[in-house]
């Protein structure tokens, strides 16, 4: 297939008028057929890569059955997210092991592809736990991670850690060559966070959330992340978690090479307001936001990654090319799958989203096949 007349996003962060060839489910130098799709008036962007989210359409990746997993994967693909690294929650080891097995086994030709697993917890700070279940927080345990990685068939690519916990720096030193260690749900000082980055951590989980604020005399995790050139920062751009001014400031501090857009969505994404679950805790959805029931503690988002991209562009004044880069190129690099996904280059999986000028979806191609339209 040839897709012509599109404004094509390139991995160097610019849009160019051009054509896209697809052959055998991959982007190619030439097409394997005479089929032509006219994408006049459309932006052609890579399928988005969400490396931090928990669920959608009434299901959670930590506990969904095979049917629920397939429904989530198909919903995400239809909404422009074609590669996923689902996040678990702070849960008992046996629950996490079962979730790792289920996620690793997901292989739906009509749904987003599982390219990794993200362990968010249980190695987090009690005081900065947010919506994580405090009953299952624990200290670092390398043997436990080895067991979970076996259950996940090697798919654990990202792990969230509070670096002030006992044994955390040693854990990061040993595991950073096998998975991305991210500073998360933490009260770490600037010095402790900087030490974590010096020992191999290379990401900050949902920046500004689950950590002390940036202060001019105590820059903390945010300052340490900014000062570490190899560190990328996750941002939830849903108009709830981070103020637009702060988002713009973050792009200036980190640059669009180091920002990763995430959805942090929960099972309430794609559903009506009401009471839902997150890690066994009740979550109330109201006014575009999710909160732990009977509190004002945010509990993930109800927005897709493409929804966050639209908000970043339309409400936060982030250039479209930068937002696309932060939702495709950067997350793919962060978990080590950029050789196969995250940009429109020959040899990579032909996951493609065509957007109208208003950023509405006109067409999604999943491994070279049309999903909608």
Annotated catalytic sites, by residue? 264
Q: Which residues contact 274 (CB under 8 A, 6 or more apart)?
A: 268, 284, 285
Q: How far from chain centre, in Å, is Cα 325?
A: 13
- Asked if 84 and 327 touch (Cβ cutoff 8 Å), the reply is no
**Tokens read off for 345:** 């280059």
**Tokens read off for 115:** 């390219």
Residue 264 DSSP code: -
Cis? peptide before 122, omega within 30° of 0: yes
- What does the alpha-carbon distance between residue 205 and residue 65 come to, in Å, rounded to a whole number? 27
Q: Which residues contact 267 (CB under 8 A, 6 or more apart)?
A: 54, 55, 56, 57, 58, 59, 60, 276, 277, 278
Q: Is 357 helix (H, G, I), strand (E, B) or coil?
A: coil
């Amino acid at each position: 297939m040839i897709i012509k007349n599109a404004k094509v996003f390139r991995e160097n962060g610019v849009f160019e008028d051009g054509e896209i060839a697809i052959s055998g489910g991959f982007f190619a130098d030439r097409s394997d057929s005479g089929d032509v799709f006219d994408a006049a008036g459309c932006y052609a962007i890579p399928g988005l890569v969400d490396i931090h989210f928990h669920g959608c359409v009434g299901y959670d990746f930590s506990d969904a059955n095979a049917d629920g997993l397939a429904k989530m994967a198909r919903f995400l693909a239809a909404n422009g997210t074609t590669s996923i690294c689902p996040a678990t929650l702070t849960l008992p080891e046996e629950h996490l092991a079962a979730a790792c097995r289920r996620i690793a086994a997901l292989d739906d030709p009509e749904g987003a592809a599982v390219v990794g697993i993200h362990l968010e917890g249980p190695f987090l700070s009690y005081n900065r736990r947010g919506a994580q279940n405090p009953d299952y927080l624990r200290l670092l345990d390398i043997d436990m991670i080895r067991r979970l990685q076996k259950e996940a068939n090697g798919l654990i690519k990202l792990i969230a850690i509070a670096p002030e916990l006992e044994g955390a720096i040693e854990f990061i030193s040993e595991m950073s060559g096998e998975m991305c260690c991210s500073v998360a749900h933490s009260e770490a000082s600037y010095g402790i966070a900087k030490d974590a980055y010096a020992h191999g951590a290379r990401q900050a989980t949902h920046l500004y959330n689950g950590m002390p604020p940036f202060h001019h005399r105590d820059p903390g995790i945010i300052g340490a992340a900014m000062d570490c050139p190899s560190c990328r920062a996750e941002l939830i751009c849903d108009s709830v978690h981070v103020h637009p001014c702060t988002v713009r400031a973050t792009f200036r501090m980190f640059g669009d090479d180091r920002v990763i857009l995430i959805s942090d969505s929960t099972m309430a994404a794609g559903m009506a307001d009401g009471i839902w679950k997150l890690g066994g805790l009740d979550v109330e959805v109201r006014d575009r936001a999710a909160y732990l029931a009977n509190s004002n503690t945010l509990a993930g988002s109800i927005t897709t990654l493409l929804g966050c991209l639209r908000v970043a562009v339309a409400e936060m004044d982030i250039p479209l090319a930068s937002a696309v880069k932060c939702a495709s190129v950067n997350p793919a690099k962060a978990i080590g799958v950029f050789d196969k996904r995250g940009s429109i280059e020959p040899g990579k999986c032909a996951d493609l989203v065509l957007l109208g000028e208003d950023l509405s979806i006109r067409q999604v191609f999943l491994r070279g096949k049309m999903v909608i339209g």
